[in-house]
């Protein structure tokens, strides 16, 4: 009678050869494969090393499958590892279904190395087709495959050159994408700046037109007033000129013939009634006569000086 005892405590058994006991350690064991060359879907050669973590999950099924290897549990484990190693090497043939850039890609969303490890795990656990034959999985032997992984990949020299070339092409593509993005960004910034400049220029021109129109409107009032009384306008201009000229303390000698100085001519104030403005200034002949008479007076004074 075959029985499995998995609980601790004292048990009873008949002495050998009536009964025998085989003890199995159910802790996880790690099996490492040797390096082997695999070919990818794009005909690239790679050297792969893989491992499998396994344990005895069904001691009875494990004993029935491997008891013919010897009477010791170590013999059973050794034969199980031989079968597991062979199955793992065979399952690594799934590498041929993936391209090299799918297995080793910096973009984790496109990296399919984990998918390959999952397929190998399923083949070891549940089996699969090999040629025209259906092979059973290790679960039928009482073995649980806890984890499968590819822990080392080496590239032959030719493959290394190809990978470097492909990496360079990928970097060139990324550089072109970044340059295109930068150019698009620069174009957008330049377009926005030009649009803002047009808005500011239009606002400034509109504001200048408003200020100009306002100034012209205000000036038109003064021009209208001046056109209604031009004599007053001329008089005010003369007064304003004198005010500006005499804003500071200084001595200024001017001729009555200069613009604005005609107001100081005696003839300019002759015949004015109260409230009237001088409208008739002395002409050039009168001014010349005045200057001539003054010159004669000065000459006579000089000649009469002892």
pLDDT one-digit tens code per residue, 14-50? 677 666 777 888 899 999 988 888 888 888 888 899 9
Residue 35 near residue 47 (C-beta atoms within 8 A): yes
Q: What is the pTM of this model?
A: 0.49
Q: Considering the domain boundaries, does residue 117 fall inside one?
A: yes
Burial of 46 (0-12, 13-18, 19+ CB in 10 A): buried
- Domain end position, chosen among 123, 155, 187: 155
* pLDDT more than 70, % of the chain: 73
Answer whether 21's CB lies under 8 Å from 56's CB: no
For the segment 94-108, what is each residue's pLDDT rounded down to a tens digit?
988 988 888 877 777
- Rounded CA-CA distance 292/289 in Å is 5
Q: 46 in a domain, yes or no?
A: yes
Q: Which of 140, 155, 170 is the last residue of a domain?
A: 155
Do residues 148 and 262 both lie within one domain?
no
168 within a domain of the structure (yes/no): no
Q: Is the domain of 253 the same as that of 148?
A: no
d(CA 234, CA 279): 9
Residue 224 located in a structural domain: no
190, part of any domain = no
Is residue 256 domain-shared with residue 151, that is, in the same domain? no
CATH number for the domain including 100? 3.30.479.30
Range name among 31-40, 184-193, 262-271 with the lowest pLDDT average: 262-271
| Pair of tokens at residue 275 | 């409230």
Domain hosting 263: range is 245-303
For the chain, how many structural domains are there in total?
Answer: 2
Angle of helix 73-91 relative to helix 113-126, nearest 10 degrees, comes to 130
Whether residues 142 and 251 share a domain: the answer is: no
């Amino acid at each position: 009678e075959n029985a499995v005892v998995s609980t601790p405590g004292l048990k009873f058994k008949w002495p050998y050869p009536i009964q025998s006991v085989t003890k199995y350690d159910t802790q996880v064991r790690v099996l490492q494969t040797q390096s082997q060359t695999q070919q990818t879907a794009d005909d690239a050669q790679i050297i792969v090393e893989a491992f499998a973590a396994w344990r005895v999950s069904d001691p009875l099924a494990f004993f029935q499958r491997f008891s013919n290897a010897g009477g010791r549990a170590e013999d059973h484990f050794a034969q199980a590892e031989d079968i597991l190693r062979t199955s793992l090497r065979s399952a690594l043939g799934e590498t041929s279904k993936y391209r090299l850039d799918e297995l080793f890609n910096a973009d984790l969303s496109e990296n399919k190395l984990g998918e390959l490890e999952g397929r190998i795990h399923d083949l070891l656990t549940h089996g699969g087709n090999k040629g025209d034959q259906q092979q059973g999985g290790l679960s039928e032997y009482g073995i649980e495959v806890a984890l499968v992984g590819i822990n080392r990949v080496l590239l032959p020299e030719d493959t290394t050159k190809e990978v470097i070339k492909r990496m360079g092409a990928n970097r060139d593509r990324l550089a072109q994408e970044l340059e295109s993005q930068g150019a698009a960004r620069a174009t957008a910034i330049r377009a926005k700046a030009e649009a803002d400049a047009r808005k500011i220029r239009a606002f400034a021109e509109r504001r200048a037109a408003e200020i100009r129109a306002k100034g012209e409107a205000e000036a038109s009032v003064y021009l209208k007033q001046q056109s209604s009384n031009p004599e007053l306008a001329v008089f005010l201009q003369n007064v304003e000129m004198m005010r500006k000229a005499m804003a500071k303390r200084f001595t200024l000698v001017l001729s009555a013939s200069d613009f604005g100085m005609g107001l100081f001519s005696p003839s300019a104030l002759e015949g004015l009634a109260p409230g009237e403005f001088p409208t008739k200034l002395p002409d050039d002949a009168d001014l010349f006569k005045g200057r001539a008479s003054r010159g004669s007076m000065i000459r006579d004074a000089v000649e009469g000086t002892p």
